[in-house]
Structure 1
Amino acid sequence: MAVSDLSPALRASASSRPHPKARPGYGKRSVPEQCPPREADFTLLPDRERHIAGHVDALPEGAAMDIKSPAKSQPLYGRMAVGSALRALGVAGHLRHVRCLSGENGGQVRWVTRTFWSRIAHDNEWWDAFLAAEERRSAPMPIAKSVDPPASAPASVPVPAPEPVHVPTQPVVPQQRTAEPQPQSRPGPSPAFAALARLGRADSRLALSGADCAALEQTAAEWFERGVDADYLTHALTAGLPASIGSPFGFVRRCLRDKIPPRLPAATPVAQATPVRRLMMECTECGAPGRPEAFRDGLCRRCRESGPVV
């Protein structure tokens, strides 16, 4: 038996570059009731996965978990290797990528992407039960409305007649000259157009021209009609990108069609209301969302059938 395969995982990154924090609500979330770190953690994993697992385990709560951030904060592996290692850690049972409905603001729902991390590997049944409990914890508590007791009818009291009030006459003011109307400013780009235009800044492989953004604007607007924001759309389109993209326009057009989120049901009376899902699993490989029970080892059906990417 090779001794190198049982070497302990690194507990801190060898790079001096600090790991970035995710925005509030996003990033790493450790599962509760974990055992303290041990030198024997992750010893059964291959060298690359053992190193990335030790690096992720040492990250604080709320650390950014997109592929770029771990690739920048440790010097041994690049984006492709980090993406493959995170996929392998999901299959091994150490992590799950999840999209959570954090609340509503002015009629717009807000989805945040979290990576739940476990130092101990768990099977699919354990993760399904954990995510079901997490969804119940994230559900809003019903607010009890207090009802004031009916007040007794007040006794009839004679109301005195109002005294006449002298209203002074207003002085006549000559008509003022109205200012000339200012020319109306041109409306800015729509949220869908702006989100598409920023894809190239999030990842240069998805750089679109102005004509491309205009052609895809209506398709992207359907995402916003389903309650997502620009950050959700950007993350969904940039997750699990291949090494090279020949046609950014064709790639984005297909992703907009294949990854469009489900439409949330309309509000119904309390007696007939159906529970709204506030948590969706995200495929560790391609980033496609769905129900947790539809995933095995953190992967959607298409990625499981296509085989591992190394």
Structure 2
Amino acid sequence: MAVMKPNAAVLPSQGLGRTATHSGVTHVREYQSDRYSIVGNHLAQHRALSLTAIGLAVYILSLPEGSPIDIRTLAERFPEGRDRIAFALRELEACGYLARVRERTADGRVITRTYACNAPALTRERVHAAADSVAVAQVPASLASPVPPAALVLVDGPAEGDRVAEPPAESPGAEGPLPVEPQSSVPRPAEPEAAEPDPSLSEHYGKAVDLLAGLRRTDRRLMLSLRDVRRLAPYVIAWFDNGVGRADVIHALTADLPALVKHPAGFLARRLRELLPPPLPSLTEPGKATAQGDDAPSGPRPMADCEGGCNRAFRAPWPGAWCRDCRAAALAAGRVPPAPPGPV
């Protein structure tokens, strides 16, 4: 008969605890009195954002106000590289967590100010509720609302060599920024707007549209959309009204172009406004003098016979004039020679 062996010794405890869940994550939470940031689950579990964009948003929300977050600074801080960081910034802009606005300071400098919003949906609801009851303060047009107390305002001056992140097309489910119409805190009476002339009624409208649409033949960097062509047409009409020809307008718009034209419509609008020449002055018809004492018209005077009695042929300044000798003899004899005719 086999001998029964005693049970093996019990192994020491391995520090394993019991949990009600069979798998997945188990949180170990500790109280933090300082150095922490509040991040909503709408950001941490966002379905449309990539992992890089969510992590970058959490890092930006943890920064103090005024911290630089341009692409070069972020690329020096993280190993992802400029391309992935730029793509993550575009994702955050499309979903409303970031808004990059170019603003002019009091000393005339132009800076890029980045608004970081920690809860875009709550911010939009607050703005809509405030718009129905009281006036909303003026904010940048590309931001969904006035800057909330929990949002960051980060000065982000792009350094040389940084790529400009163009926002992608908004998807139907993206929580993009909503425009807010700036209003004043004090209600003002509505002022009648002056009726502006319709540029399409001008005789130069068709020529201006053809000129703007054909600029891409001269340089591909000046390709414009149909909306930009219609918006810039009144500026070109002003050039034509001031007597500038088509070739001169094209030369003014295409000469000395920079290597990179990021916004063709804005670049052309600035040149059309700042380089607009004045209208040509009116020319005085030859042979006529005005009552304000204009100078005599240039050119040779017509030949005429002296009316003083000598019948000498000379270039008379007006019909019936006397020659120099007859005028001197008349003055010596006490007579008054004829005066030039006054303005009619």
When normalised by structure 2's length, the TM-score is: 0.29
Instruction: From the CA coordinates, give the structure whose radius of gyration is larger.
Output: 2
Select the structure with the greater relative contact order (CA < 8 A; seq sep ≥ 6).
1
